[in-house]
Structure 1
Amino acid sequence: MADIVSAYMSTPPIARTVATAVFLCSVGVYTGILSAEPFIFHYSLLFKFPPGLYRLVTSFLITGSGMAVLFDTYFVFTYLSQLENNSKFRNKEDLVWYLIFVTSVICPLNALFTEGMLLLQALLIAMCYTATQDQRGMNAHFYIITIPAQLMPYCLLLVQLLFPGGWVNFKIGLTGLIAAHLHDFLTRIYPEFGNGPNLIPTPGFLSWFVNSPRVRDTVYGQAIQPQRAGTGSGPLPDSWRSKGPGRRLG
């Protein structure tokens, strides 16, 4: 059991947290343990009292039914792990900001054009597109066939047409592709080819939020790591802490 926990805790933290949430919520809904209502997205529910703002998150936590619970959870973990180890997202807050941005694009697009209520497929397509941009020239396995890696998001999109409700899921997935394209343009294409700045840099407050308090992964869970003297905030000004060891009076 300790080996299983150790292996689980050694995986990328954001990927394992999101994938675990997706799996548990999906199993809970499809077994009847949880109600599906809090996971449904519709823009009108955001403006009722109290506002259902939590749906901007929960609508991305439900997979398809049946075997899709396993496959979708696997894809969530795989692509988030690739992004978490991608040099483009050097810090955890950069990946968190990426997720916030693409979901913030996906939600209004679905409200306007698809009326999609479960949006995980859109996020999957977005993450797949972003993860495979650095894999051009490499091959990837799509079920039983081998394809160029950069074609993976389009294959995931097209395969939706083979399942019930495929056209609706195709449109939902298309909004994820648009969101990923937009993120790529604003953060990479325009700075590289337009000689401009990154138009959506990671906000400073997000860096502070992600890095405070410092959390260290252990075999038994997560432990808060205290900041070292002189490197973090505290009750004394930095200039006082830099004057050397204190002396008792008397």
Structure 2
Amino acid sequence: MADIVSAYWATPPVARTVSTLVFASSVAVYTGMVSMEPFLFHYMFLLKFPPGIHRLVTSFLVTGPQLGVIFDTYFLYTYLSQLEKTNSKFTRKEDLIWYLTFVGSFIIIINQLWTGAPIYLQALMIAMCYTAVQDARGQQAHFYVVTVPAQLMPYCLLLVNLMLAGWYSFQVGLTGIVAAHLHDFLTRLYPEFGNGVNLIPTPWFISYIMRTPHVQNTVYGSATVPPRLNEPRSGPLPDSWRSAGPGRRLG
């Protein structure tokens, strides 16, 4: 049991946290422990009092039914951990959080204008798959029992959605590719080929939240770490006074 717990806490923190939330929420919904209603999104919920702001997040926390709970959670963890550990675009945790925020927001907007879908996890998974394979072009990937070029993986997921869930699910999944491509264009394609800059850099406040307080990941969880003794500390004295050495009491 201790080995399982240690292995769990050793996984990438963002992928671990999101996948655990999705799995727990889906099990709770499909076993009848909680209602599906708080997980559904429509823009009208934002106009009520109190506004349903939580739905901007919960609408990404429910998988498909039955075996979808297992397979969707697995694919979600796989693609999210690839982005967190190996993707060159997300060298910092806050960059990945901003990616999820931007892509998720755009997925909601497109679906509200086009499909009217209330649940968006499938679209987000396809978006993450699209982003993950951009660095794997020319390589081969395994999709169930077949081997395909890595860059075709998100389109394979779209095809499975079409075959198993129909045209409506295909349209929802397609919004994920559109959102991921827009993010790739604004952060990579335009700066590289248009001699421009990253048009959607990670906001400073996300970096501030991620770095305050100091958090250290351990095999047993996360621990808050106080600033080191040699780190500069804020206080009422000027820097020149603090660097002069320990004070002496007079009298």
Shorter-chain TM-score bucket reads over 0.9
Shift of 1:234: 3.3
Aligned to 1:214: 214
TM alignment of 1:1-250, pairs within 5 A: 1-85=1-85, 86-164=87-165, 166-229=166-229, 231=231, 234-236=234-236, 239=239, 242-250=242-250
Give the letter for the 2:133 counterpart: T
Task: Pick closer, same or farther for the CA change 1:89–1:232 going to 2, 3 Å.
Answer: farther
Contact conserved, 1:230 with 1:238, CA < 8 A, in 2?
no
| The 10-residue stretch of structure 1 (209-218 or 62-71) with the greater mean CA deviation from structure 2 | 209-218
Task: Pick closer, same or farther for the CA change 1:247–1:98 going to 2, 3 Å.
Answer: same
Shift of 1:2: 1.2
Matches of 1:81 and 1:241, distance apart in 2: 46
Task: Pick closer, same or farther for the CA change 1:189–1:35 going to 2, 3 Å.
Answer: same
Shift of 1:122: 0.7
SS at match of 2:184: helix
Q: Percent identity?
A: 61
Task: Pick closer, same or farther for the CA change 1:154–1:241 going to 2, 3 Å.
Answer: farther
Give the letter for the 1:75 counterpart: F
Shift of 1:227: 1.6
Contact conserved, 1:186 with 1:200, CA < 8 A, in 2?
yes
Contact conserved, 1:230 with 1:241, CA < 8 A, in 2?
no
Unaligned runs of 5+ residues in structure 2 are none
Contact conserved, 1:230 with 1:242, CA < 8 A, in 2?
no
Task: Pick closer, same or farther for the CA change 1:121–1:237 going to 2, 3 Å.
Answer: farther
Give the letter for the 1:180 counterpart: A
Shift of 1:239: 1.1
Give the letter for the 2:228 counterpart: R
Matches of 2:97 and 2:215, distance apart in 1: 16
Which structure 1 residue ranges, 4+ long, deviate > 3 Å from structure 2? 229-238
Give the letter for the 1:216 counterpart: Q
| The 10-residue stretch of structure 1 (166-175 or 115-124) with the greater mean CA deviation from structure 2 | 166-175
- The Cα offsets for residues 48-81 of structure 1, whole Å up to 9 and x where unpaired, read as 1110011010000000001011110011100110
Matches of 2:232 and 2:23, distance apart in 1: 37
Superposition RMSD on alpha carbons, in Å? 1.4
| The 10-residue stretch of structure 1 (191-200 or 167-176) with the greater mean CA deviation from structure 2 | 167-176
Shift of 1:211: 0.8
- The Cα offsets for residues 12-55 of structure 1, whole Å up to 9 and x where unpaired, read as 00000000000000000000011111100111111111100110
Shift of 1:247: 2.1
Matches of 1:35 and 1:92, distance apart in 2: 32
SS at match of 1:197: coil
Matches of 2:31 and 2:241, distance apart in 1: 56
| The 10-residue stretch of structure 1 (213-222 or 111-120) with the greater mean CA deviation from structure 2 | 213-222
Task: Pick closer, same or farther for the CA change 1:138–1:48 going to 2, 3 Å.
Answer: same
Give the letter for the 1:90 counterpart: T
Matches of 2:240 and 2:140, distance apart in 1: 57
Unaligned runs of 5+ residues in structure 1 are none
- Give the TM-score taking structure 1 as reference length: 0.95
Contact conserved, 1:139 with 1:146, CA < 8 A, in 2?
yes
Task: Pick closer, same or farther for the CA change 1:9–1:238 going to 2, 3 Å.
Answer: farther
SS at match of 1:147: strand
